[in-house]
Structure formats: C-alpha cells, structure tokens
Amino acid sequence: MNNKEKYIAVICVFIFCSVTLVKSLTHTPWFDEAHAWTIAEQLNLLQVFNYVKDEGHFFLWQFILYPFAKLHLYPYALQIINWFFCSVAIIILWKKAPFHWSVKSLITFSAPIFLCYSIIARCYSVGILLLFMLSALFKDKLKYPKTYALLLILCANSSLLALFGAIPLGLIFLYEIIKKSNLQKKDLFITYSILLAGAVLILYQILNIGQWETTVAHRTLHISVKIFRSVFVQDRLAVNLLLLSVFAVPILMYFKQNKNALFFISMSYFFFLALAMGVYGCFFWHTYFFYILLVVAFWICDNGEIRTDLRRNAYISFALITILLILNPPELSKYQYIYNSNTLSLLKFIEQDEILSKANFLQNGGNYYELVPYLHNKSFKMRNYCSLKENSDYNLLNISDNKYCANENAMWQAKLHPEMLKNLVDNNTYTFILNRTLETKGDLVEMKQDGYSILFKKYKNFDLHSFWKIEIK
C-alpha cells in the first residue's frame, strides 16, 4: 500500500467508523435486536445454547451479549459491540484485501455494510468479521491451521448465513490439509478436533431448530421468489432476474480462473438460495448477505496476479451491483419499522402516566418486545399472555405452541383461551393490554364465560397503540 492508498484508507475508515458510530447510538433497536438481548438477559448459558430450537439463530451472538445483558447495559453495549465488529472488519479489508482502493471504498460504503449491518445490531456483524478474517488468512491457512480451524467454527456458529460461507471454506481447508500439507501429527490432531467439535455444535443446533417443517410446509411460489423481487428494483421480478443474469456471466467467467473461488460462490449461493426459496422468505437484511459472500469470493479469487479482461469485466459488474444496492432502498414498510421505531416515545408515554407507570402489561407482539430490555429498573412490568412459563418476571421467552396463542390480539386470546388469560390478570395491580388501535364499538368489550366475564375497558390511545384495562367479574 503506497502513501496515497494509506491516506485514502485512513480517511475512508475514519468516515465509516465515525458515521456508523453516530448512526448506531442514535438508532432505537427493533424487535430482533431487542429479542437477542432479552434472551441473553433472561436465560443462563445452557438455556441460551438450547434456545436455538425456538430462535432459529445459533448461540454465538447471545453468548457475546451475555455478560453485558446481565449488567443491563442496554442499548449502548449492544450497539457498540455490533459497531466494533463491523469496524474491525473494514479495517481488515483495507489492510489485507488484495483489491484496488476504489473497490475497497465501494465495499466500505456499500448499502449492506454501511447502511445495514453496522447499524442494525444483529448476529450478522460477527459473521462478516470472521469471514473477512478467514479471507485474509486464506492463502496462509496451512501455516496457521489451528487458528484457521477456530475461526471457521466461530464463523459457522455466528449465524446460518455465515455458516453458508464457512462450509465451503472448511471443505477447501480439509482438502488442502489432506492433499498438500505436511502438518505434524500434534497440529493435525488439534486441528481435526477443533473442526469436529464445531461440526457437532452446528449439527446439534440445526437438528434442534423447531421451525423447519412448519416453515417449509407453508411455502408458496410468491414467497419462494421473494429474494429476487426487489434486489435492485422494487417489485420488478423480471428486471431483477435479468440484471442478476447479466452481472453473473462476467463474474462467473472470472471465477472460473480460480477453482476455490468458483467452488465457494457456487456452494454458498446454493445454500443461500435453498434457504431463501425453500425454507424462509428472506428480508432485505438477509438478502444483503449475498453481497458479503460475493466479496469473500472476489477476495479468494484475486491474488494480485490475474490481470485480464475477464477480471476487469467482473469488477465492473461488481461495481454496478454495489451502486444499484445503494440506489435501491429496502422495502419501505420493513425499512420504516427497523430504522424508525417509536419504542422510546411509547416508553416515555407509559412512564409519564401515573397509572400506566405502575401497571402490569399483558402483550404479545414484536413492537412490545422492544420495550422489554428497558424495563429492568422500571416500576411497570410486561408479560407475554401466550407463555405458560412461570420462571421470569417478564416471561417473554419460550413461547408455548401457537395453538394456545392469538398473536398480537389479547381480546381474541380471551375468546379462544379465556382461562389462560384469566389466570394472568390481577385486578389489584391494573393489568393492561397493549394492542395496536383496534376497531371496536365503544370503549368497553365484555366477553362472558361460564361463571365470570372478562371486561376490556379502553384507557388511552397513543400513536397506533391502545391501552385497555382488563377486569374479571
């Protein structure tokens, strides 16, 4: 790196770190961010590890949050940890990646990294850092086999999307160990032991995810092609498929020069598309990870020696992909929900009300989960009316089977499972429900049961939220 490139690197890294730190600290965490913190805050380490069956994400992110969650350092610890991982990943990119400074600049300020993963505090930032570390060490992996193996299993356990990159990197690593290395028996044993332990951890978690069958059973063609519907242009499936095809041709022709890069991108994208089309309809924060995997593939392929027209054309396609991702905003409804949460306004409204500030709330819904990490020093409490557990003040985890739950509608819950709701109501401590404003006739709803009635009395509205006092007569 010459002096000019060093100056550019310092400026770009400084701008990235400064802007994303401010954006992170002024961003109100949304449901998925708050939920991961709540898991770490309310469960012990063994429970966190086993919670994958309900969560669908691996344990590493919650393990990282665990000590900070127990100290109730929300939300700043969550935001700074996530920002730190992305910032270190960018520093490694500038120091170790073989790209031209212009390509590094594009990656640094790309929509996935600059606008999404560095701000939304999720498990994906850990995966990005570990994938970049694995890429930086790729050429020297046989010199440091134990370190590379450890990075692989950490990456695999950070998220399902990062696992899709770790699997082909691990297979390439194993192939080169068998075919090319002269490792000492001790190093070989330790390396294989690390990889075996990581594989066992991953298999245990994947086999225990309880959402696979129900999710796959509800797939439709509309959901299966969702990943392509708004990649570059909103709600233009045919246009996006055409653009992807045009960009893919020069990139794949370039990767053909490096079998490791071609193998990596083929396998990782196969898993990625299998998930998106066959199991889970990805949202923009999932879809963006295809870009991270593409960066890793270019990193593997570009060893600084290839200077061909194929390389130039591939990087033109890569640049166009990066620019289009910046110009194309995520789906508006999800973007507004994630980046413009009104959680703090709702929290302030509750705290300033004499009755609500001392109430017990029954709720079920993503908007209200966002409140939970703020409640450790508050005088009001919340409980998920769908949960049967008795071991937590908030009791928002380990949700019971959906047959016992009317999501986000406590009135419907009272109609379907009145005894379950009745057992949670304490008339002496002003039990309220938090629901989005409901279309009801009047401010009183009565649901009669054998020997008692459940009364819902509207108390106040705030924004899109309604507060209803619950009484048992």
- Edge-to-edge order in the sheet of strand 465-472: 381-384, 360-363, 431-436, 465-472, 452-462, 444-449
- Check residue 219 and give its pLDDT: 47
- Check residue 62 and give its pLDDT: 93
Helix (H, G, I), strand (E, B) or coil at 391: coil
The answer to whether residue 363 scores a pLDDT higher than 50 is: yes
- Check residue 281 and give its pLDDT: 65
Least trusted range by pLDDT, from 53-67, 154-168, 406-420, 451-465: 406-420
Antiparallel, parallel or unpaired: β 465-472 and 431-436: antiparallel
In terms of pLDDT, which residue wins out, 278 or 222? 278
- Which whole-number Å values give the CA distances from 336 to 28, 145, 329, 330, 358, in the listed order? 12, 44, 11, 9, 30
Confidence category of residue 383, pLDDT binned at 50, 70, 90: confident
The answer to whether residue 377 scores a pLDDT higher than 90 is: no
- Check residue 213 and give its pLDDT: 47
In terms of pLDDT, which residue wins out, 174 or 287? 174
Confidence category of residue 404, pLDDT binned at 50, 70, 90: low
Antiparallel, parallel or unpaired: β 381-384 and 360-363: parallel
The answer to whether residue 220 scores a pLDDT higher than 70 is: no
Domain range summary for the chain, segments of one domain joined by +: 3-337, 343-472
DSSP per-residue letters across 104-149: HHHHHT-IIIIIIITTS-STHHHHHHHHHHHHHTGGGTTTSHHHHH
Report pLDDT digits (tens) over 417-427: 788 778 778 76
Percent of the chain residues past pLDDT 90, beyond the cut: 46
Report pLDDT digits (tens) over 259-303: 999 999 999 999 988 887 777 767 778 889 999 999 999 999 986
Average pLDDT on 329-334 reads 60
In terms of pLDDT, which residue wins out, 93 or 422? 93
Q: How many residues does the chain have?
A: 473
- Check residue 132 and give its pLDDT: 98
Average pLDDT on 421-436 reads 75
Q: Return d(Cα 325, Cα 338) in angstroms, integer.
A: 18
Mean pLDDT of the chain: 85
The answer to whether residue 370 scores a pLDDT higher than 60 is: yes
Confidence category of residue 94, pLDDT binned at 50, 70, 90: very high
What is the amino acid identity at position 131?
L
- Check residue 307 and give its pLDDT: 61
The conformation of residue 109, written as its DSSP 8-state character, comes to: T
Q: Return d(Cα 80, Cα 102) in angstroms, integer.
A: 28
Report pLDDT digits (tens) over 78-92: 999 999 999 999 999
What residue has token string 């994958």? 52
Average pLDDT on 427-435 reads 75
The answer to whether residue 464 scores a pLDDT higher than 80 is: no
The conformation of residue 457, written as its DSSP 8-state character, comes to: E
Q: What is the dihedral of CA 298, 266, 110, 320, to 10 degrees?
A: 80
Closest CA to 48 of 68, 73, 65: 65
Dig out the tokens for 224 from the structure. 């299966």
The answer to whether residue 394 scores a pLDDT higher than 50 is: no
Percent of the chain residues past pLDDT 70, beyond the cut: 85
**Longest CA–CA separation in the chain, Å:** 83
The answer to whether residue 22 scores a pLDDT higher than 90 is: yes
In terms of pLDDT, which residue wins out, 210 or 301? 301
Q: Is 108:12 a contact under the CB 8 Å cutoff?
A: yes
Confidence category of residue 216, pLDDT binned at 50, 70, 90: very low
Confidence category of residue 454, pLDDT binned at 50, 70, 90: confident
Q: What is the dihedral of CA 166, 172, 175, 178, to 10 degrees?
A: -70
Average pLDDT on 178-191 reads 86
Average pLDDT on 28-47 reads 88
- Check residue 161 and give its pLDDT: 92
Burial class (CB in 10 A: 0-12, 13-18, 19+), 248: middle
